[in-house]
Amino acid sequence: MKTKILSILGFLFASSLVLASRAFAAAAASGHGGNFADHGMYAIGMGLAVGLSAIGTGLAQARIGAAGLGSAVEKPESLGLALIFLLLPETLVIFGLVVAFLLLGKL
């Protein structure tokens, strides 16, 4: 199951890069120059920064949430600590957004 999902994601990523390179080549041929291609690469970088950090956060929170709930069932006083650990991966998405905004400033 994981290999099927990874192969689909890899195919989508590769096809988006191929289509993006064709669009950049067409824009360069029409006289927009190389600046248009640079903007596109920045946009792809912003999307990857936010998207991949969100996927990583989701995977981490799934495991942390299950383990935290299991420990809270056995020891109810550990629920607060489990919630703190559940919120820690959210910083990855915040870092991804920061990177996206930094790239947006370069446009």
* pLDDT tens-place string over residues 67-93: 988 998 999 898 888 888 888 888 888
CB distance 85 to 24 below 8 Å? no
- Which domains are seen in the chain, by residue range? 39-107 (1.20.20.10)
Question: Could you tell me which residue, 105 or 66, shows the higher pLDDT?
Answer: 66
pLDDT for the residue numbered 33: 53
pLDDT for the residue numbered 74: 92
Q: Between vectors from CA 58 to CA 49 and to CA 40, what angle results, nearest 5°?
A: 20
2-60 pLDDT tens trace: 777 777 777 777 777 766 666 666 666 666 555 656 777 778 888 888 888 888 888 88
Largest distance between two CA atoms of the chain: 67
pLDDT for the residue numbered 20: 67
Residue 104 phi, psi dihedral angles, 5° rounding: -65, -35
pLDDT for the residue numbered 101: 85
What is the Cα–Cα distance from 57 to 92, expressed in whole angstroms? 6
